[in-house]
Structure 1
Amino acid sequence: MRYSEHDTRAKFIDPQLKQASWEETYIIREYYFTDGRKLSGNKRGERLFVDYLLRFQNVSLAIIEAKKHDKEPTEGLQQAIDYAQKLNIDFVFSTNGKQIYEFSLITGKGQFIDCYPTPTELYNKRFSNVDNLKKQLLEIPFYLTGDFKPRYYQEIAVSKVMEAITDDKKRILLTLATGTGKTFIAFQIAYKLFTARWNIDKTVRRPRILFLADRNILADQAINTFNPLEKDLVKINGDEIRSRNGKVPTNANIFFAIYQAIAEKENIGGFYKQYPNDFFDLIIIDECHRGSANEVGSWRDILDYFKTAVHLGLTATPKRSDNVDTYNYFGKPIYEYSLKDGINDGFLTPYKVKRIRTNIDEYIPTKDDVVVSGELEDRIYNLSDFENKIIVEDRTNLIAKAILDNIREMDKTIIFCVNQQHALNMRDAINQYKTVKDPFYCVRVTSDEGDNGRTLLEKFQDNDKDIPTILTSSQMLTTGVDARNVRNVVLVRLVNSMVEFKQIVGRGTRIFEGKDFFTIIDFTGASNKFYDDEWDGIPDVPPDNIIIDGGGNIPKPPKQPKPTNPTPPSNPDDGDFEPEVKKEKIVVKLSNGRQLRVTDIEVRYVGEDGRPLTVSEFLDKLIQFLPNLFENEEQLRTLWSKPETREDLLIKLGQLGFDDEQMATLQQLFEAEQSDIFDLLAFISYNKSLMTRAERADATKRQNIFFEEYENEKAQQFLYFVLERYKKDGIEELKRDKLSELIHLNGLGTTKDAAKVFGNANNLINAFYQLQEVMYKAG
């Protein structure tokens, strides 16, 4: 007897699990662990799942790959192993119900077994050399509310930290892409330690944890996430210390601070020194790439003072030469979840790149230009000079107009400028050319704006508000600001640091309903960093010449002397660190005869490897996949002529990475914007001549034999009307669920009225379908 896979599960696998004492509460069937890559039109790519996930004591222990009864038991083993590695699971079972194959990722070996191990047996295999504290910490469930479920990588990250802490590691690093919930992970870590009453001196008390950030907005966002423990929370800041007559708070378990508030200042000792140096058990350093481990930074002084505590660094930025101190200090990350993984899994939003070039990407002075201030040098000024050494107002205006031309009017947008003055100039230029009347449509958010800027930022972050729509900034918004509905990230300045570039890109990656992708609009070539071999890569191990002991400590190099007259940052809390400009900037007005223009706009989409595809790569990828979708031209015509199979084909194209937006880009490339996607596919696959929709509709109208089948003139006129709608709006008008709307727009009345015109409802539907068959036979 032949059994389906469903029958195999119900009749064989389920009873075998029950016989091995696997209760229903320990089994999750068809466990989906990704959401599927976001595609245009609010669609999703394929979601990954395992047939069975086996959990015991709140720990995922094994997955089962189920095959049909007549299939080989190990047919799906390799995919199951891949999924197990992704899920950080040690055991895989592959079975057809008749035979069970067990594979251990611990030993790398597999064997056929007679029956499944019991939950206790499998748990003891997994934790054969694990102490009771580690088991206790892993078994404590997440603190969750409502129907919220943690993502698989969040569970892995928390488990990895629990294991590292119980292995007495003092320096721990998690690297997870922006928007993947690092603060949520930090809270679950704190909650587990809090619940288990873990602490470094192994006494019976709850731990004291310090969450250290470098900006108030990041600390406040973290406090909101930690709200379930609010009775045990306190923020260390000036107001709190003043209310205690200059004494730091000690009557809590979870402490939040920005390092500027507690660090040493000129002639003022650091507040952190009021605490005993063994006061904290765990210090969580948010965005630790920003300098927490830098030898000359204030953060390092704080960490060195509390050296007995476990130091947990959180960052979105893989190891790069410009933040090597972080990795030398913490060592290799114990877990990494990259931007590429987040996008492919569907937890982050994909992006496309618009590289815009102008005819003033460099400036050569002429005698007709007017120097408003400063003194021009006889040389070429390039992108690195603009706004730093020279300001060309006409260039700022050109870029402002180009930005407005390349975004949808009410799409939330962040423009990253060279400095605060440039952000001011760009705001004013946007406001000069905008069409929206609201005075707060475009605003500057920098440290100079103070509390007013923070208020505007909060409104921008509110997804229920359209205004402000555009923010101009320089450094303040590069890190940690949670604005989920950002649709455009605009770069009008060079970005030399890979760390900073990655943080800027992260401003647009957060998921939001109806947000299929976001666009990086690049005026300076900063997006070339996508092609860097180090982009989105896995961090390297520390260099061989750096010795990290069991606690993660490193020998300190000699401190560099501090500058004698350092320039204080304008507001270190907000991150706009701009050096003092000593030389007067050159301001130039171009001669009236000089015509500035955008010379090129290149759109690039991003492949599954996280890098933008060139046009030729994009086309090569499409050509490579098309034979998997249809075998020949006739099959393509057949699939395309029916609304249901056409939609299936479009969905498959989208899942392969060619969604509506990307196909529209290809239409632009081949100057086929007025053509059907069918014609584009036939042209690419079989070198067929491109027809426009109008040509295809007019050719269809000449098929008299088809139209003469319908003697009622109203029936003929309706079919002609459908063709006109197709000419105007494309294949959207040919969907089955569009029929009733077309009937109404044509004035035929209700669907019942239209059915009478065609004789009956079946005749109406058949005519709608046959019209499309005739359409796609043309050409």
Structure 2
Amino acid sequence: MHKNDLSERDICTKFITPALERAGWDVATQIREEFPLTKGRIIVRGKLHTRARHKRADYVLFYKPNIPIAIIEAKDNNHGIGDGMQQALGYADMLHVPFVFSSNGDGFLFHNRIAPDGIIERELALHEFPTAETLWQWWARHRGLNDRQNALVTQDYFSDGSDKSPRYYQLLAINITIEVIARGQNRILLVMATGTGKTFTAFQIIWRLWKSKAKKRILFLADRNILIDQTMTNDFKPFGSAMTKIQKRQANKSYEIYLSLYQAVTGNEEEKNIYRQFSPDFFDLIVIDECHRGSAAADSAWREILEYFSSATQIGMTATPKETREVSNIDYFGDPIYTYSLRQGIDDGFLAPYKVVRIDLDRDVTGWRPDKGMVDKHGFEIEDRIYNQKDFDRTLVLEQRTQLVAQKITEFLKKTNRFDKAIVFCENIDHAERMRQALVNENADLVAQNSTYVMRITGDSEEGKAELDNFIFPESRYPVIATTSKLMTTGVDAQTCKLIVLDQRIQSMTEFKQIIGRGTRINEDYGKYYFTIIDFKKATELFADPDFDGEPVQIYEPRGDDSPVPPDVPEEGERSGVTYPEPGEEKGWTGVAEPGPEGEGGVRRYVVATVEVKVAAERVQYFDAAGRLITESLRDYTRKALAREYTSLNDFLRRWSSTEKKQAIIDELSEQGVFFDALADEIGRQSGKVFDPFDLVCHVAWGMPPLTRQERAEQVKKRNYFTHYGEQARRVLEALLDKYADEGVAHIEETQILTIAPFTEFGTPLEIIRGFGGLEQYQQAVHELEEALYA
């Protein structure tokens, strides 16, 4: 066979891999072919989802199993030697790799990003491919690492022989952290979106530092007992007997890896004595999970631990660095050395995307003013002023508003799945309790079956907190709906949560990201690929903020000595037996269902039962392929997207006609952000008809009058299209035509359709296909049927 006739895979097998082996590269440990980088963004269309094409490098070469050093992109021999270079450079950017190669089997184009002589690209013969040691020496010399530093950065990560290895961004976070520690940096901040594996990343960092003996005694701090326990039994399990959990009054110094709650070593003097039993230089390394919380504040009790062990290298890990005028992660840890954002995670397909349903209520939009002398349900005269969204559920309770929100949540679940886990974020504990009551009444049938169908999970409710683990665990059916205020904004790994409801005004970008992060985990085993946000209080306007998902910017303003110090109230999590008010609660309120008379420093909360509240506007907001909110009309957006793909109607028709499977074009346009389901809903609502994607495209982009699937099917039947087929084949094609009218073109293109009724009446799939003369003839008949449909 001539070289030009070989496939890309053949070129790899016959020319590229042998060239690498001749250069001394080890196939088992150093050469990874078809290396997966991303999983492909999940694209949501109505209730359906698909994945965009994932990114995969033809070759990633590793100096050691944890150190990627080169990328090779292969092409078949009909391409030039450098045709894969631009693609390879994109992959190299993702992996921070310095050496990049492209090949068509004739040789290599070598792109050296650290070339000392300024000649970045040159061609190499197949036999001139550099050795692993050569490339490593060039890179080590470029980075200026000495032998001791090199020994640390080349220390292997943990592997148990399974397929679980760090994802590309985890590998980067681990390697960058190890290198800056090797260079002597002792305050480090890693920013990784919720659900991207911070704990696994932390474990690999600790493992390499521990195994290399660079760090001998290590403390891992988290803020919830369940996180510590899960960490010990899951990601940290390989540490075995070298690991312990610090309990109250325990200070056993014979271990090497220590895990502890912040709260277990802070609080009252007795608890503080636990960490003071360790000498200040006892720990070499401290890793602080969720460091945006207490350790961000200079006067926090949690920060006291870090300052006591100030000689240790300290790594802060968070999805949302806290940067306000009062508290700052960057002020303590420095700028992040690596950031993997929510947007990147969704784009790569490692995190679940979201769709937003905005519901505006009339009283929220226009405000409400009481009649003169009006009293609330408790007899208190209501202060005469205009109350708006800022006041609702804080200083003014409109009971019918709560009922309407509960009704809309329940309506949504009834249309989707009433057992999809949902978190409803409320303004405060009182609001969370009233919302629980309203949801119980809206879902009385399911609550009668199990009283935990709806639970209030807040800091003051022991019964609610006891159900938190059941809400989190995918295996537990109940609770289904959780109402909360602050307790579930962070540290809650709700893998199967499919609905986030925002009935809370959110002004903090940190808090907003934390709340959105409750829905971003994917769990394919339980059908969790995306989630929905129902927003009643315009909180999702923060998606449009330029700071959303951007790099954190320090805006910290240190207080002077005479500045008032805010009270140190630990955030939600484990309470160490001490009762604290929930963060964000107004001082004076204790979370009872109805407040009593105004207390010292309290705020009057009026309760009104008689004011009617209605929905003013309800709309689904869409996000394009890059995750940006679409602000123009769906039709205008679609028209522009189609104009980028096709120069004219004729161009589209040629592509449609020449493509063997029409679903391929539909999938391709879906990846470009065309919302076929949404367009079908919008155009169908206006006409009461169901249209094919083909007609939607032609109608929206070029103004062609659309035909329904039923109309297209009837036209084919009128043409006596089936006359040149035998009786059995005609019956099959007529059934395919009916299936098209009912379900669309995608279904008739797959041979699996022959395994369902009514086709089972005609025989087995094999017998049906034989009736056409074979598979090729059957597929040709389906293709001709499609041509007739779209003629």
- State the shift of 1:349 in Å: 1.1
CA deviation after TM superposition for structure 1 residue 728, in Å: 4.0
Equivalent of residue 675 in structure 1, options 662, 667, 691:
691
Q: Secondary structure at the match of 1:289?
A: coil
Distance (whole Å) between structure 1 residues aligned to residue 373 and residue 681 of structure 2: 41
Q: 1:483 offset after TM fit, Å?
A: 1.5
What secondary structure, in the 3-state scheme, does the structure 2 residue paired with 1:22 have?
coil
Residues 643, 735 of structure 1: 8 Å contact kept: no
Give the 3-state SS of the residue equivalent to 2:720 in structure 1. Answer: helix
Q: CA deviation at 1:526?
A: 0.5
Corresponding residue to 1:647 among 663, 673, 680: 663
2:18 corresponds to 1:31: no
- Alpha-carbon distance, 1:14 to partner: 3.2
Q: Which moved more, 1:166-175 or 1:123-132?
A: 123-132
Q: Which moved more, 1:121-130 or 1:14-23?
A: 14-23
1:75-114 correspondence runs (5 A): 75-107=83-115, 110-112=120-122, 114=124
- The C-alpha deviation readout for 1:549-601, integer Å capped at 9, x for no partner, is xxxxxx996484446x888878764993223231341110125xx4x332322
State the shift of 1:752 in Å.
7.2
1:371 matches 2:376:
yes
**Residue 499 (1) aligns with residue 510 (2):** yes
Q: How does 1:625-644 map to 2 (within 5 A)?
A: 625-626=641-642, 633=649, 636=652
Residue 430 of structure 1 corresponds to which residue in structure 2? 439
Match runs of 1:349-360 below 5 Å? 349-360=352-363
Between stretches 396-405 and 288-297, larger displacement belongs to: 288-297
Which whole-Å deviations, capped at 9, do the CAs of 1:717-775 have from their partners, x for residues lacking one?
Answer: 76665555544444455343354255437855655786899999988776655444333
Structure 1 residues 20, 342: CA separation in 2 closer, same or farther (over 3 Å shift)?
Answer: same
Partner AA of 1:124 in structure 2: Q
Q: CA–CA distance in 2 between the matches of 1:570 and 1:538?
A: 26
Superposition CA RMSD, Å: 3.4
Quickly say closer, same or farther: Cα 1:487–1:664, change in 2 above 3 A. Answer: farther
- Find the residue that maps to 1:447 and give its secondary structure: coil
Match of 2:596 in 1: none
- CA 623–571 in structure 1, closer or farther in 2 if over 3 Å, else same: closer
Q: Distance in 2 between matches of 1:570 and 1:171?
A: 26
Q: 1:209 aligns with which of 202, 215, 218?
A: 218
Task: State whether residues 443 and 470 of structure 1, in contact with CA within 8 Å, keep that contact through their aligned partners in structure 2.
Answer: yes
- 2:399 matched residue in structure 1: 393
* Aligned residue among 401, 404, 410 for 1:404: 410
Instruction: Tell me by how many angstroms 1:478 deviates.
Output: 1.0
- The alpha-carbon deviation at position 294 of structure 1 amounts to 1.3
User: Given the superposition, is the C-alpha separation of residues 144 and 483 from structure 1 closer, same or farther in structure 2, using an over 3 Å criterion?
Assistant: farther
Change (3 A) 1:610 1:705: closer
The residue aligned with 2:212 is: 196
Q: Tell me the residue number matched to 2:520.
A: 509
Which of 151-160 and 54-63 deviates more?
54-63
Contact 2:292–2:322 (CA under 8 A) maintained in structure 1: no
Check if 1:775 corresponds to 2:754: no
Contact 1:413 1:490 in 2 (8 A): yes
Structure-2 residue corresponding to 1:527: 540
| Distance in 2 of aligned mates of 1:280 and 1:759 | 76
Q: Could you report, residue by residue, the CA deviation over 1:95-125 in whole angstroms, capped at 9, with x for unpaired residues? A: 4444533323335751325422211111111
Q: Name the CA shift for 1:599/1:273 in 2 (closer, same or farther; >3 Å).
A: same
Distance 2:781 2:102 in 1: 50
Aligned residues of 2:38 and 2:55 also touching (Cα < 8 A): yes
Aligned match for 1:53, one of 50, 53, 60: 60
Equivalent-residue separation in structure 2 for 1:72 and 1:762 (angstroms): 35
Aligned residue in 1 for 2:599: none
Secondary structure in structure 1 of the residue aligned to 2:758: helix
Counterpart code for 2:551: I
1:134 to 142, 149, 163: 149
1:481 aligns with 2:487: no
> Is 1:734 the equivalent of 2:737?
no
Shift of 1:392: 1.2
Distance 1:413 1:213, change over 3 A: same
Greater RCO, CA 8 A, separation 6+: 1
Query: What corresponds to 1:164 in structure 2?
Result: 180
Structure 1 residues 6, 522: CA separation in 2 closer, same or farther (over 3 Å shift)? same
Distance in 2 between residues matched to 1:183 and 1:160, nearest whole Å? 16
Mapping of 1:650-661 within 5 angstroms? Answer: 650-658=666-674
Deviates more, 1:357-366 or 1:683-692: 357-366
Aligned to 2:472: 461
Q: Aligned partner of 1:449: which letter?
A: S
Task: Provide the C-alpha distance between the structure 2 equivalents of 1:181 and 1:559, rounded to a whole number of angstroms.
Answer: 42
Aligned to 1:586: 606
Deviation string, structure 1 residues 517-553 (Cα, Å, up to 9, x no partner): 211111100000011111111234x57x99xxxxxxx
Q: In the TM superposition, what is the alpha-carbon distance from 1:174 to its structure 2 partner? A: 0.4
Structure 1 residue 17 corresponds to structure 2 residue 20: yes
State the secondary structure of the residue aligned to 1:283: strand
2:425 to 416, 425, 446: 416
8 Å CA contact 1:318, 1:537 repeated in 2: no
Larger mean Cα displacement after TM superposition, 520-529 or 220-229 = 220-229
> What's the CA shift for 1:631?
6.1
| Stretch moving more, 477-486 or 719-728 | 719-728
CA contact (8 A) 2:676 2:696 kept: no
Query: Which whole-Å CA distance do the structure 2 matches of 1:341 and 1:570 have between them?
Result: 28
Segment drifting more, 330-339 vs 316-325: 316-325
Could you tell me which residue of structure 2 aligns to residue 116 of structure 1? 129
Q: One-letter code of the match for 1:426? A: M
1:604 to 621, 628, 634: 621
Q: Distance in 1 between matches of 2:302 and 2:640?
A: 51
For residues 488 and 410 of structure 1, the distance between their equivalents in structure 2, rounded to whole angstroms, comes to: 11
| Count of aligned pairs between the two proteins | 745
Asked if the contact 2:498/2:531 (under 8 Å) is kept, the reply is: yes
Q: Give the equivalent residue in structure 2 for 1:446.
A: 458
Distance 1:349 1:662, change over 3 A: farther
Is 2:392 the partner of 1:380? Answer: no
Q: 2:678 and 2:63 mapped to 1: Cα distance? A: 45
The whole-number CA distance in structure 1 between the counterparts of 2:123 and 2:736 is 63
Q: Which amino acid is 1:100 matched to?
A: F
Question: Cα gap change, 1:665/1:121 in structure 2, threshold over 3 Å: closer, same or farther?
Answer: farther
SS of 1:706's partner is coil
Instruction: Tell me the secondary structure at the aligned position of residue 483 of structure 1.
Output: coil
Unmatched 5+ stretches in structure 2:
590-601
C-alpha deviation, 1:235, in angstroms = 1.9
- How far, CA to CA, are the matches of 2:123 and 2:468 in structure 1? 60
CA shift digits 1:428-450 (9 cap, x unpaired): 11111125343222211112222
Deviates more, 1:28-37 or 1:256-265: 256-265
Distance 2:656 2:224 in 1: 55
Q: Percent identity between the aligned chains?
A: 36
Cα displacement (A) at 1:162: 0.8
> How high is the TM-score relative to the length of structure 2?
0.86
In the alignment, the residues of structure 2 paired with residue 470 and residue 506 of structure 1 have an alpha-carbon distance, to the nearest angstrom, of: 17
Tell me the residue number matched to 2:593: none
**Aligned match of 2:195:** 179
**SS of structure 1 residue aligned to 2:608:** strand
Amino acid at match of 1:394: Q
Change (3 A) 1:123 1:767: closer
TM superposition shift of 1:711: 8.1
Q: CA deviation at 1:11?
A: 4.5
Whether the 8 Å CA contact 1:370–1:589 is kept in 2: the answer is no
TM-score, normalised on structure 1? 0.87
Q: In the superposition, relative to structure 1, how do residues 471 and 133 fare at CA in structure 2: closer, same or farther (>3 Å)?
A: farther
